[in-house]
Amino acid sequence: MIISTYLGNPGKKYEATRHNLAWIMLEYTGFAGSLNWNAKFKAKYARLANPESIHLKPETLMNLSGESAAAALGFFKLAPGSMIVVHDDLELPFGTVQLKKGGGTGGHNGLRSIVKLTGSPDFFRFRMGISRPPAGRDVASWVLSRFSEDEEALLPDYCRLAAAYFETILRNGPVQGEKRVLVNF
């Protein structure tokens, strides 16, 4: 069984921000309409039978995402390696995704929280590129800002292609993969 944890911040003011890219992408999956969300683990969670998977949207702020992830792993008696964390990533250009297992947090506070509270960095990461901020722009304000007009125009294609790739990973099982450029501008 796989737990897919989608990182984001709850609340209307964060809906369309770079930090919520995982939540935006989730809506483009073929199974999004089939998810029957329940409240548990300080999150919304849902189970799917095919492929057998658990989907988790922490309802804490990003920096506390580990509270939900650790609680769900403990409840289902799964190791961190059974989890795929879908998150925004500054180190990848916008329009790029990469599946990676383990590694550092790259300064991502949601990942930092998960590593701290699960006791392990050995989970899969479905990294979705948001690019680094322009010179002189603060990282915190960048991840909490909306996408540019050019990015917003490409966002539906980016999320649709990322969702298709993510669904393939769920069906076939995660294996550390190559970096994929899905959209360019």
The mean pLDDT value for 86-90 works out to 96
Instruction: Report strand pairing: 38-40 vs 43-49.
Output: antiparallel
Alpha-carbon gap, residue 21 to 7, rounded angstroms: 8
Q: What is the CATH number of the domain that holds 71?
A: 3.40.50.1470
Residue 64 has which token pair? 């506390």
Average pLDDT score over residue span 64-73: 96
Instruction: Provide the 10 A C-beta neighbour count for residue 109.
Output: 18
Residue 185 pLDDT greater than 60, yes or no: no
Tokens describing residue 170: 């769920």
CA torsion 21→95→161→68, rounded to 10°? Answer: -30
pLDDT score at 179? 73
Helix (H) or strand (E) holding 161: helix 149-172
- Residue 135 buriedness (CB in 10 A; 0-12 / 13-18 / 19+): exposed
DSSP at 112: H
Encoding tokens for residue 115? 């590593």
Predicted confidence (pLDDT) per residue in 152-182, tens digit: 999 999 999 999 999 999 988 887 776 777 7
- Of 3, 8, 1, 4, nearest in space to 109 by CA: 8
Domain that holds residue 50: 2-181
H or E element in which residue 90 lies: none
pLDDT digits (tens, 9 = 90+) for 100-148: 999 999 889 999 999 999 999 999 999 999 999 999 889 999 999 999 9
| pLDDT confidence of residue 52 | 85
- Say what percent of the chain tops pLDDT 90: 83
Write down the mean pLDDT value for the chain: 93
Q: Tally DSSP H helices, then E strands, for the chain.
A: 5, 8
**Phi and psi dihedrals of 4, rounded to 5?**
-100, 120
Q: Domain count of the chain?
A: 1
Tokens 């993969």 -> residue: 177
Report, as residue numbers or ranges, the catalytic residues.
Answer: 19
Residue 90, pLDDT score: 94
Stated pTM of the model: 0.94
What does the pLDDT read at residue 30? 92
